[in-house]
Amino acid sequence: MIGARRGLGGPGGINPLLLIGLVLLAYAYINGSLFAPVQDPIQFLAFVIAIVLGITVHEFMHAYAAHRLGDDTGRMLGRMSLNPIAHLDPWGTLLLVLAGFGYGKPVPFNESRLRSSASVAIVALAGPAANLVLAALFAIPLRAGTADVFGDLYTTILLYIVRMNCILAIFNLLPIPPLDGANVVYGLLPPRQQYSWRTFQQYGPFILLFILLLAPRVLNTIVFAPAIAIARALTGF
């Protein structure tokens, strides 16, 4: 699985991905895949760099977009920062090391301080958009062929950054709470439908967990396949 930050939330909200992460950790233990990510040191290093960079930029852009649109909650909490420590969740980071999936700390926001309801959608989109921009930038040396000059490790790290950021972007755009896509939908709905969508959000983590555990082919079709296709288009291979 990938490392993911999952969704914007109001101040003081509980991150439901902790529960999801614990269930997936147990699943990894039962299937013997616990500690699998550390078996190849080079790929593990590349994976960690890619995920930490992706989560950091992703969360920073959520806080920055909210700041620009009138809400300074994230900035006042120190989240408008490119310091990875500000965004890494202890449990989410531990899961990354143990089983290859995890999450960062969601950036809280105050909807009432934003300029409009549509601003929620813009703040939510900022994170995945940043991941795609990051992937495009790090694909440039691969596309130009200059990565080979610095050796296999450099090339592997660049490939992981491109691919993981594409996966982070597409995964977080799924319209399932607590992912960013759910807030994109919420911000674009009329007020009455927004209330209904908020009611649906409590079931989002269970739907997400169902897809992760029981419908991996669906996840491959709607997330991994398009993400890898984008990565290949960016890198040329």
The one-letter amino acid code at 59 reads E
pLDDT computed for residue 11 by the predictor: 34
Q: 180-203, pLDDT tens digit by residue?
A: 999 999 889 888 888 888 888 788
Among the residues of the chain, which ranges form H helices? 17-30, 41-68, 73-76, 90-99, 118-144, 152-172, 180-188, 191-201, 204-214, 216-219, 225-235
Q: What percent of the chain has pLDDT over 90?
A: 39
* β-strand partners of 108: 9
Q: 101-151, pLDDT tens digit by residue?
A: 677 888 888 888 988 888 999 999 999 999 999 999 999 998 887 766 777
pLDDT band at 214 (very low <50, low <70, confident <90, very high): confident
pLDDT at 18 over 80: no
pLDDT computed for residue 36 by the predictor: 55
CA distances, 92 to each of 21, 39, 102, 165 (Å): 7, 19, 4, 17
pLDDT computed for residue 134 by the predictor: 97
The one-letter amino acid code at 33 reads S
CB atoms within 10 A of CB 16: 22
pLDDT computed for residue 22 by the predictor: 63
Mean pLDDT is lowest, of 38-42, 64-68, 210-214, for: 38-42
pTM: 0.86
**All structural domains of the chain with their residue ranges:** 19-235
In whole angstroms, what is the distance from residue 127 CA to residue 68 CA?
Answer: 14
pLDDT at 161 over 80: yes
Question: Which has the higher per-residue pLDDT, 152 or 70?
Answer: 70
Nearest to 7 by CA among 94, 165, 120, 95: 120
pLDDT band at 67 (very low <50, low <70, confident <90, very high): very high
In whole angstroms, what is the distance from residue 219 CA to residue 196 CA?
Answer: 25
pLDDT computed for residue 2 by the predictor: 31
Mean pLDDT is lowest, of 45-54, 72-81, 190-199, for: 190-199
Question: Which has the higher per-residue pLDDT, 103 or 73?
Answer: 73
End-to-end CA distance of the chain: 22
pLDDT band at 216 (very low <50, low <70, confident <90, very high): confident
